[in-house]
């Protein structure tokens, strides 16, 4: 019967037969069909991480922040930290000026009228007091978290993922939550089910834990009353219903449902909290800065359908949505001024570029040989 089939159909049948044999072989060896996908994703991730390390080696991002936030005896210095924040803020302001000039030049080259240009340039307001306060609040929280050696939970797990380098500022400035609702839910669920904020992401994980240690209160209990009512509706339905039945807050729900574990943990948590308080200078300032940063980062007016509400915060939206760009620019300018960056050092920069191009040529050669073997 095969002789009456077209060559294409025969090829398909042969391919299916080969696939069936391959599946049978995989079944015998216990290999999953998805193993290849996992290996591909893992190796790509590993490769990109290595490339990032190579890039960061030029920018100085992985240089230690400790000399700039500690005194000669190795203790935290509020004075040096504030001086570092001053300098980084100046560089952020310079970056804003650069961005504005670049945007203006593009508008002028596009042939737009003076009226159109003036209207569009309103999207680039100056780096005013509100933007500066937001930027400073973020830097203060990020630097305090990065500097602190003892950021671990009762089980001894690192909860800050800090490297105590300038890279921490870049990591913490990322957009770890897409909306305020997502952040509120993360906090509430963490308080109700774990009571340690270990499921939080980015800067919000160590900052929430620190606020809890320093104040003795759950973070959600520090919300204004209106905000508490608003975020509560975003908690997953089953958990929300259980909390409503008890008529309590998420943190009280945790205490009520995990009494045995809570009682044993509470003593340890109090000891850790006392240790944190004794070591942490300016706790009130940290709590104030974090709550301010958090409220501005996720102001619900940014996504409002009401033009008047959006107009109230339009000046903040640029720096809020581009915080990582401002932090990156500030860090790169700082490391360059301190001789920690090598982007403007001709010898180091061109050596790095030469090595990278050699590696690229060798990779192409190896890949061609690999393809040749594959086709044989």
Predicted confidence (pLDDT) per residue in 5-21, tens digit: 444 445 544 555 555 55
Q: Where are the domains of the chain?
A: 66-337
Q: Which helix (H) or strand (E) holds 297?
A: helix 283-297
Going by pLDDT thresholds of 50, 70 and 90, the confidence category of residue 30 is low
Quick one: which of 93, 57, 71, 124 has its CA closest to 315?
A: 124
pLDDT at position 240 is 83
pLDDT over threshold 60, residue 346: yes
pLDDT over threshold 70, residue 261: no
**In which residue are the tokens 């270990």 written?**
198
Q: How far is CA 336 from CA 58, 204, 333, in A?
A: 10, 29, 5
SS3 139: helix
pLDDT at position 8 is 44
Angle of the 237-246 helix axis to the 180-193 helix axis, nearest 10 = 60
Q: Are 301 and 292 in contact (CB under 8 A)?
A: no
Which span out of 40-54, 132-146, 182-196, 331-345 was modeled with the highest average pLDDT?
A: 132-146
Quick one: which of 327, 333, 330, 295 has its CA closest to 173?
A: 327
Rounded to an integer, the average pLDDT of 132-159 is 81
Q: Are 290 and 207 in contact (CB under 8 A)?
A: yes
| C-beta atoms surrounding 125 within 10 Å | 17
Rounded to an integer, the average pLDDT of 210-235 is 81
Q: Express as a percent the part of the chain with pLDDT over 90.
A: 30
Rounded to an integer, the average pLDDT of 87-115 is 89
How far apart are the C-alpha atoms of 208 and 200, rounded to whole Å?
8
pTM summary value: 0.80
Query: Which residues are registered as beta bridge partners of 70?
Result: 76
Long-range contacts from 51-59, C-beta under 8 angstroms, 24+ separation: 54/352, 54/356, 56/167, 57/342, 57/352, 58/341, 58/342, 58/343, 58/348, 58/349, 58/352, 59/331, 59/332, 59/335, 59/341, 59/342, 59/343
pLDDT tens-digit readout, 154-180: 444 566 678 899 999 999 999 888 888
C-alpha dihedral, 56 to 177 to 200 to 47, nearest 10°? -30
Q: Are 133 and 289 in contact (CB under 8 A)?
A: no
How far apart are the C-alpha atoms of 117 and 107, rounded to whole Å?
6
Q: Which helix (H) or strand (E) holds 42?
A: helix 35-59
pLDDT over threshold 80, residue 49: yes
| C-beta atoms surrounding 132 within 10 Å | 15
pLDDT over threshold 60, residue 50: yes
pLDDT over threshold 60, residue 306: yes
pLDDT at position 92 is 95
pLDDT at position 143 is 97
Q: Express as a percent the part of the chain with pLDDT over 70.
A: 85
pLDDT at position 231 is 72
How far apart are the C-alpha atoms of 195 and 220, rounded to whole Å?
12
Tokens of 259: 């009494």
Lowest mean pLDDT among 125-134, 269-278, 292-301: 269-278
Quick one: which of 36, 77, 97 has its CA closest to 329?
A: 97
How far apart are the C-alpha atoms of 146 and 165, rounded to whole Å?
8
Q: Are 197 and 159 in contact (CB under 8 A)?
A: yes
- The residue length of the chain stands at 376
pLDDT over threshold 50, residue 249: yes
């Amino acid at each position: 019967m095969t002789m009456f089939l077209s060559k294409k159909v025969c090829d398909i049948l042969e391919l299916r037969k080969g696939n069936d044999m391959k599946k049978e072989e995989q079944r015998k060896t216990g290999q999953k069909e998805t193993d290849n996908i996992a290996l591909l994703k893992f190796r790509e991730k590993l490769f990109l991480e290595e490339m990032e390390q190579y890039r960061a080696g030029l920018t100085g991002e992985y240089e230690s922040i400790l000399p700039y936030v500690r005194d000669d005896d190795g203790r935290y210095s509020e004075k040096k930290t504030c001086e570092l924040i001053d300098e980084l803020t100046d560089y952020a302001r310079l970056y804003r000026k650069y961005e504005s000039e670049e945007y203006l030049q593009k508008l002028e080259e596009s042939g737009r009228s003076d009226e159109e240009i003036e209207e569009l340039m309103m999207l680039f307001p100056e780096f005013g007091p509100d933007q500066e306060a937001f930027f400073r609040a973020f830097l203060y929280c990020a630097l305090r978290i990065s500097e602190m050696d003892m950021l671990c939970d009762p089980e001894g797990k690192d909860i800050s993922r800090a490297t105590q380098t300038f890279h921490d500022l870049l990591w913490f400035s990322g957009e770890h939550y897409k909306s305020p609702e997502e952040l509120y839910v993360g906090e509430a669920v963490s308080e109700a089910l774990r009571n340690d904020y270990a499921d939080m992401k980015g800067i919000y994980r160590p900052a929430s834990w620190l606020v809890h240690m320093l104040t003795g209160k759950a973070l959600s209990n520090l919300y204004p009353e209106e905000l508490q009512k608003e975020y509560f509706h975003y908690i997953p339905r089953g958990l929300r219903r259980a909390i409503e039945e008890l008529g309590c807050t998420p943190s009280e729900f945790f205490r009520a449902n995990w009494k045995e574990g809570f009682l044993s943990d509470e003593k340890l948590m109090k000891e850790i909290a006392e240790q944190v308080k004794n070591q942490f200078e300016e706790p009130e300032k940290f709590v104030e800065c974090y709550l301010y940063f958090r409220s501005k980062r996720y102001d619900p007016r940014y996504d409002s359908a009401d033009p008047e509400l959006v107009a109230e915060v339009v000046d903040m939206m640029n720096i809020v949505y581009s915080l990582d760009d401002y932090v990156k620019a500030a860090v790169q300018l700082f490391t360059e001024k301190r001789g920690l960056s090598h982007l403007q050092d001709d010898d180091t920069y061109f050596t790095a570029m030469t090595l990278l191009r050699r590696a690229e040529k060798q990779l192409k050669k190896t890949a061609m040989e690999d393809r040749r073997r594959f086709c044989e």
